[in-house]
């Protein structure tokens, strides 16, 4: 599968060019357009239980769409729900992916949920994350632009939990509050995650939580009359 990222980083879309018989699994609603010669099938990808886990615990769609090319050169366009960036990751191993960031993958990659442990209890990502593992092509999306940081062994970066997109499985991470509880609630920074390498992390330059925190107070409210 050949992947071309268009219109990055504000309103990115992914153009996937497939060979005959090649399949791509994508989030429900991600298909923007496709050329003739592509068959689409909708399923839970692993059964009802796995679909429920991915939906209720991982924050992704219950159903996923599988696109299969019937001829060489078939084209599939995908786009995420939120405006932002897309990154193509040739995967050979495993990643932990934040809720809402998975867009599509080739058939050699499995998407499941992973228990994050009690240390993620107070993070915006909750107790569960997506674990994406295998060998093939992975396409991730973000809210805002995507920035990659490669951590050296023992190197630590501190990231606001709302700006995390994905990180290599094996990176050590710990969620904590910023300073004391007063700083956590009133500094506007909330909770942060300390990630220690080696490995790669992907960040998004905007946060859905921060945007909702700004937007909701601006919405009109019904008058008492």
User: CB count, 10 Å around CB of 127?
Assistant: 15
Identify the band that residue 51 occupies on the pLDDT scale cut at 50, 70 and 90: very low
Distance from C-alpha of 179 to C-alpha of 187, rounded to nearest angstrom: 10
- The alpha-helical segments, DSSP class H, found in the chain are 48-52, 181-186, 208-215
pLDDT digits (tens, 9 = 90+) for 105-147: 998 999 887 645 444 434 444 445 788 999 999 999 999 999 9
| pLDDT given for residue 53 in this prediction | 45
Does the global pTM surpass 0.75? yes
Give the C-alpha distances (Å, rounded to integers) separating 160 from 8, 77, 81, 110, 175.
Answer: 23, 31, 22, 27, 9
- Quick check: 68 pLDDT over 80? yes
> Hey, what domains does the chain have and what are their CATH numbers?
2-211 (3.60.160.10)
| pLDDT given for residue 57 in this prediction | 42
| pLDDT given for residue 49 in this prediction | 47
| pLDDT given for residue 12 in this prediction | 96
| pLDDT given for residue 129 in this prediction | 75
Distance from C-alpha of 26 to C-alpha of 190, rounded to nearest angstrom: 32
Question: In 3D, which of 12, 199, 30 has the Cα closest to residue 100?
Answer: 30
């Amino acid at each position: 599968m050949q992947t071309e990222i268009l219109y990055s980083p504000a309103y990115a879309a992914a153009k996937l060019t497939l060979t005959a018989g090649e399949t791509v699994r994508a989030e429900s609603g991600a298909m923007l357009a496709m050329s003739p010669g592509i068959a689409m099938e909708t399923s839970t990808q692993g059964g009802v239980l796995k679909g429920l886990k991915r939906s209720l615990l991982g924050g992704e769609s219950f159903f996923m769409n599988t696109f299969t090319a019937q001829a060489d050169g078939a084209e599939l366009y995908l786009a995420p729900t939120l405006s932002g960036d897309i990154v193509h990751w040739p995967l050979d191993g495993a990643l932990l992916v934040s809720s809402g960031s998975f867009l599509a993958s080739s058939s050699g990659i499995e998407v499941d949920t992973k228990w994050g442990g009690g240390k993620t209890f107070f993070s915006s990502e909750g107790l569960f994350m997506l674990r994406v593992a295998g060998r093939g092509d992975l396409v991730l999306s973000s809210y805002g632009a995507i920035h990659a940081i490669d951590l050296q062994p023992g190197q630590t970066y501190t990231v606001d939990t709302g700006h995390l997109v994905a990180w290599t499985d094996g990176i050590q991470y710990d969620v904590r509050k910023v300073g004391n509880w007063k700083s956590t609630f009133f500094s506007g920074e909330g909770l942060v995650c300390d990630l220690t390498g080696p490995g790669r992390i992907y960040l998004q330059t905007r946060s859905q939580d921060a945007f909702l925190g700004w937007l909701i107070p601006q919405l009109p409210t019904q008058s008492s009359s």
